[in-house]
Amino acid sequence: MKKTLILTTALVSFGFAANADVTVMSWGGAYGAAQTEAHVKPWSAKTGNPAIMVDSDNPAPAIKAMVEAGNVTVDVASVEYADAIRLCDEGILEPIDAASLPPAPDGTPATEDFLPGAITECGVSTDIWSNIFAYDSSKFSGDNVPRTAADFFDLEKFPGKRGLRKGAKAVLEFALLGDGVPAAEVYDVLNTPEGVDRAFAKLDTIKDQVVWWEAGAQPPQLLADGEVVMTTAYNGRIFNAAMTEGKPFVIVWDGQIYENEMYVVPKGAPNKDLAMDFIRYATSTEGLRAQAQQISYGPARKSSFAEPIVFKDGKTVMAPHLPTAPENLGNALETSSDFWVDHDAELNERFQSWLAQ
Amino acid sequence: MAEAPTALLTTADGRPLKAALATAQARARRRAFLLVLPLLAFVLLTFLIPIVYMLKRSFEHDGFASSAPALAAWFDANPDFDPNNPPEEAYAALVQDLARMQVEKTTGIAGTRINYSVPGSISLFKKGAREAASLTPPFKESLPALDKEWARPALWRGMASASHVYTAEFYKVALDLKLTDNGWARGQDNERIYLYLFAKTFLISAIITLLCLLLAFPVAHLLATLPMAKSSLLMILVLLPFWTSLLVRTTSWIALLQEQGVVNNMLVALGLVDDSGRLAMMYNMTGTIVAMTHVLLPFMILPLYSVMRVIPPSYARAARSLGATSWTTFRRVYLPQTLPGIAAGSLLVFILAVGYYITPALVGGADGQLISNLIAFHMSKSNWSLAAAIAGMLLASILLLYWLYDRLIGIDRLKFG
C-alpha cells in the first residue's frame, strides 16, 4: 500500500519536484513574497545554491502527506506554531539543534536572544504575527473610535457589521478578552466548560451582525467594500492595505492574539544539511530583520531591533506596527499551542454547531 | 435417424473457420485492451487506489496500538475489564508504555490517537510520559496523583478501543457520537454537527439541482430549436462562464450580491429598498445557492441540449394535429423524450454539488457551510482518519443514491450527449 501511495504522490508532486537544490514551501501572497525577498533570494546569492519558493494553502498538511508517502520534495516549510509542535510530536519533522543557530552580533547565544518559546524542538520562529481587529477610520472618527476588545462587541456605541474569522481558534479567546477576562487568565477560563459557554454567550451578542471570513485576504476587502465597519484580521494584511493601497484602516492592538510562525524541516528532506543552513541564515538577526522590512510581522530575536527597521518603501519605521512593540503588548495574549493541540477538533465542532443554530 | 454429416467449413489453409474466427477475435480484443490499458492504469493509479486507501484509513489507525504494546497486550488478555476501576496491572502496563513512549518519542502519536475520542489527551500523555520513569508503585495511586484524568473511565475506554489497529471509532464520531464515561453516546445538542450537515448538504444540493433544471430547460430548448447561427452565439454565452475560473465567478457574485454590492446599490437608487434595509443575499444560504446554481448550470444545459437537439419536431406537430393542447403535447410527448437528458443533468449537478467545497467556503457565511468544508477542516488538522470516515460516508450515500436512481429511472436511460 505504501508503494502505491508513493506512486500516486509521485505523480501529483511531479510538478514541483524541479531540479532546484533547496525548496521552501510557504503561504504565498504578500507573506510568501516577503520570505522570498528576505530569505530565499539572499541565501541563494550568498551560498550559490539554487533555491525556490513554492506556495501552498497551508504547508503543514502538505508536508505531512509527503513524509507519510515517503516522497519528500520540500526542504523547508513555514508552518503555524501549533502545527510545528504537533507535527514534531508525530515524528514528521527533523529536530533542529538550537545550539547551532547563529548568535546575535554582540555574541549573545541564540537561545537567549530569541524570545521565550520561539525555538522548539523542531522549529525556529521566522516572525511573530497577530490576530488584531481593525476599523475603517472614515466610519468612526474623533473621540468615538473603538479602542478596546470590548468595543468590538459594543453594538450600541459602534453600530454596524463585524467581520470575524470562521473558526474557533483566536475567536473564542477574543470573545473572552472582549468580555473583560484578563489576558493571563483567558486559557484558564477557556479550559472549563463554563468558560467555553461564556465565550459563546459573548459571541451570541453580535452573532446576527457578523460576516464570517476564511481567507486572510478577505477582511481588508470586506472593510474596503464597506461590508463591515470593523473586522478581525492578520495584522500584516491590514498594514499592507493601508500602506500600499492607502486605505484608511486603523489597527486596534488591545486584545491582540499573537503567535510565532515557524520554519521547519520535514523528515527525509532531500537536502537536509542545506535546509538547516537556510534556516540558520533566515533566522539570524539580519535574516529576521530583512523579513520585517517586507511585512509587518515582528522578528522573534531581541537583537533584530538594535537598529530601527524600515519598511521597503524606505520611510515607514516598522517598530510601532509590529505585534511585539511594547506599546502594542498592553493587553495582548499569546496563543497557547498546548491548548489548541488538545482542543482544536472538539471546540471547532462546537463552533460549527453553534454557527448552524 | 442417421445424422447427416455436416461439412465442416474451413479456411484456405485448412483450419476450421470457427477456430480461426475465434483466434482473430481474440487478437482484436487483445489489441483493443492494449489501447485501453493506459487509461485503465491511469484510473487505477489516480482514482481507485486512492479511494481504497482512503477507505482503509477511515477504519485503521495504529498510532496507539504500536506505541503502547504492553497495555495493548493487557487489553487483549482482559477484554472485559471495568473501565471505572482498572486494576493495578493495567496501570503498571500503562506506565511502562509511557516510559517507552518517552524514549521512543512516540508520545505525540499515541496522544493524538486518543485525543480523537477523548479531547485533552495530547498534553496528558506528554506530561505522563515525562514523569513515567520517576513514578513509583502502586501506579494505581501515583499516576492519577499526577493528573486525576488518568483515572477517567472515558480515557480507559478510549485506550482500550485504540489498542486495536482496526476501529469503527471514526465512523462513530462522524455519526455525532461522543465517548463518555459510560461508553459511546449521542453528543450534546450543541456539539452535534455531522449528521445535520449531511442532511443540509443533500437538501441544498437538491434545491440547486431543481433550480438548475428550471433555469436550464428553456435555455436548452431554445438552443436546440434556434437556427444554427443564433444557437451558436447563444452556446458561446453558455460556455463562456463555463470556461471562466471558478474563483472569478464566485468572487463576482460577491461583488454583485453583497450588502454594498451592485444589486443592492441599484435597488436603493431605484428607491425599492431603504438604505438601512439592504438585502442580505451574500454570506448566507441564499449566497451559496445562487453562486452554486450559476457555477453548475452548464452541467445541466449541455446534456439537456444534446438530447433535445435530436428530438424530431414532427412528433410535437403530430400531437398538435391530433388535437392535443400545447400543455398536453409538452407533458405527454416532449417531456418524456427529454427524460434521459434531465436524468443525466440532474445526476451530474447533484453529485458535483454534494462535494462542493470552495464556493460555500467563500460565500457560505454562517449557515451556508457544507459537509465538504468539515472534511477540509479535518484534513488541515491532520485528523485524516476522521476526514476519510466522513468522505467514506459521503461516498456511500452517493452510491446509495446512484443505486436508487438506477432502480427508479434506469442507468441505461442516461444520456450525456
CA B416, CA B404: separation in Å to the nearest integer?
Answer: 19
- Give B381's Cβ-side CA count (13 Å radius): 27
Residue A15, pLDDT score: 44
pLDDT digits (tens, 9 = 90+) for B167-179: 999 999 999 998 9
Residue B85 to residue B68: CA distance in whole angstroms: 20
Among B57, B154, B377, smallest CA distance to A346 is for B377
Q: H or E stretch including A291?
A: helix A285-292
Q: Where are the alpha helices (DSSP H) in B244-281?
A: 246-257, 262-269
Quote the cell numbers at residue B86: 482498572
CB B365 to CB A212 under 8 A?
Answer: yes
Q: Residues of A with CB below 8 A from B107's CB?
A: 89
The pLDDT value given to residue A1: 40
**Rounded distance, CA B391 to CA B176, Å?**
15
Q: What is the mean pLDDT of residues B79-99?
A: 92
- Residue that the C-alpha cell 519533522 belongs to: A93
Cell numbers 489497529 correspond to B165
Pairwise CB contact (< 8 Å): A210 & B192: no
Per-residue pLDDT band at A20 (split at 50, 70, 90): low
CB A190 within 8 A of CB B223: no
Q: Which residue of B has its CA nearest to A83?
A: B381
Task: Average the pLDDT over A23-52 and give the result.
Answer: 92
Q: Write the CA distances from B342 to A29, A113, B94, B209, B337, integer angstroms.
A: 43, 68, 60, 10, 10
pLDDT tens for each residue of A279-333 = 999 999 999 999 999 999 999 999 998 888 888 888 889 989 999 888 899 899 9
Which residues does chain A have within 8 Å of residue B54's beta carbon, measured at their own beta carbons?
none
In B182-326, at which residue ranges do the beta strands (DSSP E only) sit?
183-186
Average confidence score pLDDT of chain A: 89
Of the pLDDT bands very low, low, confident and very high (cuts 50, 70, 90), residue B275 is: confident
Q: With an 8 Å Cβ cutoff, are A8 and B369 in contact?
A: no
Q: How close A65 comes to chain B (CA, Å)?
A: 9
Q: Are B138 and B88 in contact (CB under 8 A)?
A: yes
Q: Name the residue facing B196 among A4, A345, A356 (closest C-beta).
A: A356
Give the pTM: 0.80
| Nearest-10 crossing angle of helices A272-282, A285-292 | 70
Does the pLDDT of residue A13 top 50, yes or no?
no
Please tell me if residue A355 touches chain B, with a CB cutoff of 8 Å. yes
pLDDT tens digits along B339-379: 889 988 999 999 999 988 888 888 887 777 789 988 988 88
pLDDT at position B233 over 80: yes
pLDDT digits (tens, 9 = 90+) for A132-152: 999 999 888 888 899 999 999
Contacts of A87 in chain B (CB under 8 A): 382
What pLDDT is recorded for position B242?
85
Buried b (16+ CB within 10 A) or exposed e, B226-261: eeeeebeeebeebeeeeeeeeeeebeebbebbbbeb
Mean pLDDT, all residues of chain B? 89
pLDDT more than 90, % of chain A: 65
pLDDT digits (tens, 9 = 90+) for A217-265: 889 999 999 989 999 999 998 998 898 889 999 999 999 999 999 999 9
CB A202 within 8 A of CB A124: no
- Once rounded to an integer, what is the mean pLDDT over residues B389-405? 91
**pLDDT score, position B157:** 94
Q: If pLDDT is split at 50, 70 and 90, which confidence band does B4 have? A: low
